[in-house]
Structure 1
Amino acid sequence: MVLATHPLSPSKTPTAITTISEFPHNPKTLILHQCKTTKDLNQIHAHLIKTRLLHHPAVAENLLESAAILLPDAMDYALSIFRQIDRPDSSAYNVMIRGLIHKKLNHNAILLFKNMCENSVQLDEFTFPSVLKACSRLGALREGEQIHAQIMKYFGFNSDGFVQNTLIHMYASCGELEIARNVFDEMPRRDVMTWNSILAGYAKNGRWDEVVRLFREMQELGVEFDEVTLISVSTACGRVADLELGEWIDEYVDANGLKGNLALITSLIDMYGKCGQVDTARRLFDQMDRRDVVAWSALISGYSQVNRCREALDLFKKMQEANVEPNEVTMVSVLYSCAALGALETGKWVRFYIKKKKMKLTVILGTALIDFYAKCGSIEGSIEVFDKMPSRNVFSWTALIQGLASNGQGKKALEYFKLMQEKNIDPNDVTFIGILSACSHAGLVDEGRKLFISMSNDYGIEPRIEHYGCMVDILGRAGLIQEAYEFIKNMPIQPNAVVWRTLLASCKAHKNVRIGEESLKNVIRLEPAHSGDCILLSNLYASVGRHDDALRVRNQMKEKGTNKTAPGCSLIELDGEIYEFFAEDNRHPHSKEVYNATEDMMRKIKSAGYVPNVTDARLDAEEEDKEASVSHHSEKLAIAFGLIRTSPGTTIRVSKNLRVCTDCHNATKLISKVFKREIVLRDRNRFHHFKQGSCSCNDYW
């Protein structure tokens, strides 16, 4: 037979209508497989009403399943059918609850279950897993506990294993791991799905150590595991840096022919990346027949985490060439790499992409953008993103406060800190590092003292070594050297080399030789000699006219072979490409162009009053080569390259891996004035915004 068709008016274009030659006695196959559209459903529904087959429970159930689950936009239609059924049985309710969950209408699913109970409809082993799934998604613990009580009423301790597994999942999703574990421990029989449920619960709550421990228990008990198990465990291995077990899983996967499981190989890539074995992760990635966004994101994240950020961005470009759309995880890793490299233009493109694709500005993505802009010296961008975020957490506020502090806007950081308190968002220990740092850079000594006390008194946060270091910096920058020294002596925890080094820098700035010498002794006692520390003392001696002592320290450094732990390296991004410069490096592909530009730049600032500070030259440089040595520091080469490769008035942004030296700092101030450029220089400690001959750090860094 042909189900009813409608005559077409001449003005309408004909559309295809499903033709069914014969309506079967048992219409299950027809309803579930041939019913492709709502129009098909209408025809079948009409025939079932006409033939009164709709009153047959199995037929009604098939019709509901087609409308509620199989067809994309027929949920309202399914509900209308369901309401017309006289006294629907448990199967009809079960289908509707499944359909509502399938359409992410989890609250409605729980309400329908409540209606089912009120109408005294018999519950069965298919009802409970579905409604528990809705509770899991909503974090509805109270309702989940009530359903658990119903399960005990119906089945006692002998409920179906699938029901018990769903209970474990529900409690874990609601953060009640102890109860989930009790359900697991009380089960008389546990299959692989049961173990996977508890493993997934621990993983969801970040209890990665417990995932690894449970898997080892599975092995000891001889419990079979599957690919789902291995995905949870290999992910956990990455989080707890258990490379040995991760490698065992890799070998097992290879030996058992499981390389075709995309999710499993992706979890291994993630594991190797988080264990710092990014080359092994890359080898697995390259062997994959197909790669989804999760696999690309896992490898990009791996490169970012080991600070191989240029490779992370190169891989991101390859991902785009492969026409794989990035997701939030990809974007966060790419923004981290852009921040580390100071790649502002690439990061701006990422933000444009986020807007273009209408990606939701989540807390995680928004915070990554705030951090990226701040670390590229564009704090205005951070504030703009922060203001546009629909919701923020303590990490978002902290990222902005830290960004303002490191960019020399201490007073504004304090304003946001006060606003944060007004919004009833409690700061964490990292927030206090940011706000104390802001007080330090803004010279707000009294505010810093009050905040340090408030930290433990008002928020119950025990100060860490970093907080004590911030207080030493606050006092030292303000010239309160003796007070800073006494503060260190009275610390309840052992001061580390960083704390003493902070005091040494203050002594150099305020010409306090006695405490400066004491500070260096303590630094050397705690750590091997570092060239930067010795140079600080040498410069301190020179600043008070003790040139013989300054020379003695320099000679001792030569004799002991005290060198920089890493060569000076500066990065500059131009037209989306990152250029890298090393001090006195003549192997750069643009070296001739760069050195000519540097000489021209140095000649012009000398005319404006620049005098080279040769004490910042290489220790092994001959006397006649010292001026050339300081002229060819990596940041000067990068700035010179920026001057000739960008149009007049363009801001030049440079990132350096070490603390900027006095000579480069003085030179850059004059460069900003002579060439009428704003120069943003990020060194190991902070940002320096040079403009019209002055720096945002007020010559103290």
Structure 2
Amino acid sequence: MATAVLPAAALSTPARAAPAPSHAPPGRADPRHLPQLHAALIKSGELTASPKSFHSLLEAAAQAASPAHLTYAVRLFRLGPRLPSSAPCYNVLMRAFLHAGRPDDALHLFVEMLDEASACPDQHTIACAIKSCSRMCALDVGCGVQAYAIKLGLMVDRFVLSSLVHMYASCGDVAAARLLFDAVEEKGVIIWNSIIAGYLKNGDWKEVVEMFRRMLEVGAAFDEVTLMSVATACGRIGDAKLAKWIAGYVGEKGMVRNRNLATALVDMYAKCGELREARRLFDGMRSRDVVAWSAMISGYTQADQCREALALFGEMQLAEIEPNDVTMVSVLSACAVLGALETGKWVHSYIRRKCLPLTTVLGTALVDFYAKCGCIDSAVEAFESMPVKNSWTWTALIKGMASNGRGREALELFSSMRKASIEPTDVTFIGVLMACSHSCLVEEGRWHFDSMTRDYGIKPRVEHYGCIVDLLGRAGLIDEAYQFIKTMPIEPNTVIWRALLSSCTVHKNVEIGEEALKQIISLDPGHSGDYILLSNIYASVGRWKDAAMIRREMKNRGIEKTPGCSLIELDGAVFEFFAEDSDHPQLREIYQKVEEMIDKIKIAGYVPNTADVRLDVDEYEKEVSVSHHSEKLAIAFGLMKLHPGATIRLSKNLRVCTDCHSATKLISKVYNREIVVRDRNRFHHFKDGTCSCNDYW
């Protein structure tokens, strides 16, 4: 076939003279010189006379990173000479398509090759075709390629076998991948990596670790790719012992210079809870890409060190590293825990500004963030803007509605979820039952609890039983809640008994409250809140000696009360306040603002509730003590710093006490402010002297 010359525009660069060509194979040539080299080979006649020269030119064009050069390579392939054996040229282009993320084009090229009489696929062609099927999850087509490989007698080739193992595993048929793997007598590192990567992709973390242990037992060689997969699996299952062995081996062999491997180790240590080691490795990395930053931020978030996560995100911005959707999910999760609304809003605006795709994971994180910051309307907007929603997205909004006092709306949303043919999970039902509990929807709660098993085949977990105990207890059905616990098919834990004890405190049920505490102490004797709840029950019915006895027992056992802590975000910074705080630099001004605040709400009818204060001080000291609770200090700070009319938002580590609840209602009215408080159980939206919980919490 005569050689066709590409258009002159594609073969010359008028801005400068072409360098004198070397007729040596141009496999490592500068891609910018490809047209000149092509022209020189045509002129010298080597393009048709030397298949090696043509193949090298084609390879140089195909291996260049630019899409334009890949297009040039395709045109060169189409218009170039037909070689006696064209398989190597097909292989070059197929590999280039795979590298460019175009597996469908690679597969089409393979089909085209089968129709050409002079082209005979070899083991590299088959391997590329199978890899294309892996990338496309086209298992049926891959099986067809495998049948063709059997016909050609190529099933003994290690590249073909490794590609097949990887294909089956990538397409979810790990059992078939394992059968092929086990049938191979001499296993090299490539096929080991293929089966391990398959298990990794399918989330079979334990199998990844077991396969690696087997490699060590048989003395099989492994490389950095193996270690990256195993390190990832170690992090997922929390195998700290193997994690340390891997880190030691990597350090001993000097492999830590591999950035991808170092990043995998950072992620491994972080997920194993070894944050100091993770940070040490992270800080020691010569170069850190977005994956490394995201791994470290994610580690802090998952370990509930959310302030450190946001601080590191700030460093990432200063380092001018562009965050991706994975980074944003971790940052939003940290903002949700801290109630850092302004920081989270900035993240949302960044997502819009950079046009990051709103994946289900990122969108769900946004919904969850807004819901956990008490901005339920913004959560709904984020939910409605998502192109695709899954059960976790619906569940996040249902739980958000429930915790923000919109129980009826949460149940309506659950109904919409079912109409959309989205199957609820066991977590969805936790949200549904929470909605019933927080809104005193007793009959609805009973119905949905029974519906779990009856209509969806979901076996209730201890969390679901806890929701029913909480539902009945809040509604004052203490005896029924107690009998429900006694007839549970699973052993009740401390959470269930605490839900009952909390209800006994509200409804002043001494007898069952005593039994609940007895059960809790047998399971977890060191939690201060349990003793305080029973002490408060005694105090509420006038049994002062018993209340004092409980407090003494706490002291004798060395159990200290967990201090109340409230967080408030101002201008992107999170401020922390403790009850009776003495460390804040503006402490004097804050306490003056508290005094002013208390004086104003007393005029509006506020009477301090000192029933829960320790008994060995006089009434004045009790009033001072309740006025210095952490949420009152945080609210005073918000009044000082925020502009008039701005909503005050804070988070508290404990349940809001009765006194602070009454006081905050009046503060919202006197100062004409909306105040949103997230406590350990739910949200309280205070406005015009009322609360969204309707005093039912």
- The corresponding residue for 1:246 is 243
Determine if the alignment matches structure 1 residue 337 to structure 2 residue 334. Answer: yes
Query: Which one of 201, 205, 211 corresponds to residue 202 of structure 2?
Result: 205
Q: TM-score, normalised by structure 1?
A: 0.91
- For residues 456 and 219 of structure 1, the distance between their equivalents in structure 2, rounded to whole angstroms, comes to 45
Q: Which amino acid aligns with 2:431?
A: G
Q: Cα gap change, 1:95/1:259 in structure 2, threshold over 3 Å: closer, same or farther?
A: closer
Deviation at residue 77 of structure 1 after TM alignment: 5.1
Q: Tell me, yes or no, if the aligned pair for 1:203 and 1:232 is still in contact at 8 Å.
A: yes
Q: Cα gap change, 1:34/1:527 in structure 2, threshold over 3 Å: closer, same or farther?
A: closer
Q: Tell me, yes or no, if the aligned pair for 1:582 and 1:633 is still in contact at 8 Å.
A: yes
Q: Which amino acid aligns with 1:428?
A: T
- For residues 253 and 22 of structure 1, the distance between their equivalents in structure 2, rounded to whole angstroms, comes to 45
- The corresponding residue for 1:468 is 465
Higher mean C-alpha displacement, 626-635 vs 500-509: 500-509
Deviation at residue 463 of structure 1 after TM alignment: 0.2
Q: Cα gap change, 1:383/1:4 in structure 2, threshold over 3 Å: closer, same or farther?
A: closer
Determine if the alignment matches structure 1 residue 129 to structure 2 residue 106. Answer: no
Alignment of structure 1 residues 35-54 onto 2, 5 Å: 35-36=31-32, 41=35, 44=38, 48=42, 53=47
- The corresponding residue for 2:385 is 388
- For residues 448 and 606 of structure 1, the distance between their equivalents in structure 2, rounded to whole angstroms, comes to 39
Query: Which one of 536, 547, 550 corresponds to residue 553 of structure 1?
Result: 547
Query: Which one of 178, 182, 190 corresponds to residue 175 of structure 2?
Result: 178
Higher mean C-alpha displacement, 213-222 vs 384-393: 213-222
Determine if the alignment matches structure 1 residue 422 to structure 2 residue 398. Answer: no
Q: Cα gap change, 1:92/1:198 in structure 2, threshold over 3 Å: closer, same or farther?
A: same
2:313 counterpart SS class: helix
Determine if the alignment matches structure 1 residue 299 to structure 2 residue 296. Answer: yes
Q: TM-score, normalised by structure 2?
A: 0.92
Higher mean C-alpha displacement, 554-563 vs 213-222: 554-563
- For residues 78 and 170 of structure 1, the distance between their equivalents in structure 2, rounded to whole angstroms, comes to 27
- The corresponding residue for 2:611 is 615
Determine if the alignment matches structure 1 residue 432 to structure 2 residue 426. Answer: no
Q: Which amino acid aligns with 1:312?
A: A
Q: Tell me, yes or no, if the aligned pair for 1:537 and 1:550 is still in contact at 8 Å.
A: no
Return 5+ residue gaps in structure 1 as ranges: 7-13
Q: Tell me, yes or no, if the aligned pair for 1:41 and 1:67 is still in contact at 8 Å.
A: no
Deviation at residue 69 of structure 1 after TM alignment: 4.5
1:298 counterpart SS class: helix
- The corresponding residue for 1:166 is 163
1:33 counterpart SS class: coil
Deviation at residue 507 of structure 1 after TM alignment: 3.3
Higher mean C-alpha displacement, 667-676 vs 90-99: 90-99
- For residues 388 and 16 of structure 1, the distance between their equivalents in structure 2, rounded to whole angstroms, comes to 50
- The corresponding residue for 2:634 is 638
- For residues 191 and 292 of structure 2, the distance between their equivalents in structure 1, rounded to whole angstroms, comes to 27
Q: Tell me, yes or no, if the aligned pair for 2:634 and 2:650 is still in contact at 8 Å.
A: yes
Q: Cα gap change, 1:66/1:560 in structure 2, threshold over 3 Å: closer, same or farther?
A: closer
Higher mean C-alpha displacement, 143-152 vs 558-567: 558-567
1:268 counterpart SS class: helix
Deviation at residue 691 of structure 1 after TM alignment: 0.9
Query: Which one of 65, 68, 72 corresponds to residue 73 of structure 1?
Result: 68
Higher mean C-alpha displacement, 408-417 vs 621-630: 621-630
- For residues 4 and 450 of structure 1, the distance between their equivalents in structure 2, rounded to whole angstroms, comes to 75
Q: Tell me, yes or no, if the aligned pair for 1:414 and 1:435 is still in contact at 8 Å.
A: yes
- For residues 48 and 688 of structure 2, the distance between their equivalents in structure 1, rounded to whole angstroms, comes to 84
Higher mean C-alpha displacement, 672-681 vs 243-252: 243-252
2:220 counterpart SS class: coil
Query: Which one of 628, 649, 655 corresponds to residue 653 of structure 1?
Result: 649
Q: Tell me, yes or no, if the aligned pair for 1:534 and 1:553 is still in contact at 8 Å.
A: no
Alignment of structure 1 residues 231-380 onto 2, 5 Å: 231-380=228-377
Deviation at residue 126 of structure 1 after TM alignment: 1.1
Question: CA offsets, 1:441-498, max 9 Å, x none?
Answer: 2222222222112211222110001111112222233333333233222211122222
Q: Which amino acid aligns with 1:699?
A: D
- For residues 373 and 224 of structure 1, the distance between their equivalents in structure 2, rounded to whole angstroms, comes to 49
Deviation at residue 20 of structure 1 after TM alignment: 4.5
- For residues 604 and 416 of structure 1, the distance between their equivalents in structure 2, rounded to whole angstroms, comes to 41
- For residues 41 and 222 of structure 2, the distance between their equivalents in structure 1, rounded to whole angstroms, comes to 49
Deviation at residue 427 of structure 1 after TM alignment: 0.8
Runs of 4+ in 1 over 6 A off after TM superposition: 3-6, 85-88
Q: Tell me, yes or no, if the aligned pair for 1:55 and 1:85 is still in contact at 8 Å.
A: no
- For residues 648 and 373 of structure 1, the distance between their equivalents in structure 2, rounded to whole angstroms, comes to 23
Question: CA offsets, 1:77-104, max 9 Å, x none?
Answer: 5545545568773233323322332332
Q: Which amino acid aligns with 1:378?
A: C
Return 5+ residue gaps in structure 2 as ranges: 1-5
Kindly, what percent of the aligned residue pairs are identical?
Answer: 55
Q: Tell me, yes or no, if the aligned pair for 2:31 and 2:69 is still in contact at 8 Å.
A: no
Deviation at residue 135 of structure 1 after TM alignment: 1.0
Q: Which amino acid aligns with 2:646?
A: T
Deviation at residue 157 of structure 1 after TM alignment: 4.5
Higher mean C-alpha displacement, 109-118 vs 339-348: 109-118
- For residues 176 and 596 of structure 1, the distance between their equivalents in structure 2, rounded to whole angstroms, comes to 68
Q: Cα gap change, 1:66/1:452 in structure 2, threshold over 3 Å: closer, same or farther?
A: same
- The corresponding residue for 2:18 is 19
Q: Cα gap change, 1:130/1:580 in structure 2, threshold over 3 Å: closer, same or farther?
A: same
Q: Cα gap change, 1:203/1:119 in structure 2, threshold over 3 Å: closer, same or farther?
A: same
Deviation at residue 426 of structure 1 after TM alignment: 0.6
2:566 counterpart SS class: strand
Determine if the alignment matches structure 1 residue 581 to structure 2 residue 577. Answer: yes
Number of matched residues? 685
2:576 counterpart SS class: strand
- For residues 381 and 40 of structure 2, the distance between their equivalents in structure 1, rounded to whole angstroms, comes to 57
Q: Which amino acid aligns with 2:461?
A: R
1:690 counterpart SS class: strand
- The corresponding residue for 1:698 is 694
- For residues 555 and 589 of structure 1, the distance between their equivalents in structure 2, rounded to whole angstroms, comes to 38
1:648 counterpart SS class: coil
- For residues 325 and 339 of structure 2, the distance between their equivalents in structure 1, rounded to whole angstroms, comes to 21
Q: Which amino acid aligns with 2:281?
A: L
- The corresponding residue for 1:9 is none
- For residues 548 and 39 of structure 2, the distance between their equivalents in structure 1, rounded to whole angstroms, comes to 94
- For residues 618 and 174 of structure 1, the distance between their equivalents in structure 2, rounded to whole angstroms, comes to 64
1:73 counterpart SS class: helix
- For residues 302 and 41 of structure 2, the distance between their equivalents in structure 1, rounded to whole angstroms, comes to 62
Q: Tell me, yes or no, if the aligned pair for 2:236 and 2:271 is still in contact at 8 Å.
A: yes
Alignment of structure 1 residues 208-227 onto 2, 5 Å: 208-227=205-224
Alignment of structure 1 residues 539-550 onto 2, 5 Å: 539-543=536-540, 546-547=541-542, 549-550=543-544
Q: Tell me, yes or no, if the aligned pair for 1:539 and 1:550 is still in contact at 8 Å.
A: no
- For residues 36 and 21 of structure 2, the distance between their equivalents in structure 1, rounded to whole angstroms, comes to 17
2:88 counterpart SS class: helix
- The corresponding residue for 1:673 is 669
Q: Which amino acid aligns with 2:494?
A: A
- The corresponding residue for 1:155 is 153
Determine if the alignment matches structure 1 residue 593 to structure 2 residue 589. Answer: yes
- For residues 144 and 277 of structure 2, the distance between their equivalents in structure 1, rounded to whole angstroms, comes to 48
- The corresponding residue for 2:3 is none
- For residues 309 and 102 of structure 1, the distance between their equivalents in structure 2, rounded to whole angstroms, comes to 38
Q: Tell me, yes or no, if the aligned pair for 1:5 and 1:17 is still in contact at 8 Å.
A: no
Question: CA offsets, 1:653-698, max 9 Å, x none?
Answer: 1111111111111111111111111111111111111111111111
- For residues 305 and 148 of structure 2, the distance between their equivalents in structure 1, rounded to whole angstroms, comes to 54
Q: Which amino acid aligns with 2:15?
A: A
Query: Which one of 377, 394, 406 corresponds to residue 409 of structure 1?
Result: 406
2:355 counterpart SS class: coil
Q: Cα gap change, 1:620/1:656 in structure 2, threshold over 3 Å: closer, same or farther?
A: farther
Q: Tell me, yes or no, if the aligned pair for 1:601 and 1:640 is still in contact at 8 Å.
A: yes
Q: Tell me, yes or no, if the aligned pair for 2:267 and 2:295 is still in contact at 8 Å.
A: yes
- For residues 106 and 285 of structure 1, the distance between their equivalents in structure 2, rounded to whole angstroms, comes to 34
Deviation at residue 551 of structure 1 after TM alignment: 4.4
- For residues 690 and 79 of structure 1, the distance between their equivalents in structure 2, rounded to whole angstroms, comes to 67
Determine if the alignment matches structure 1 residue 441 to structure 2 residue 446. Answer: no
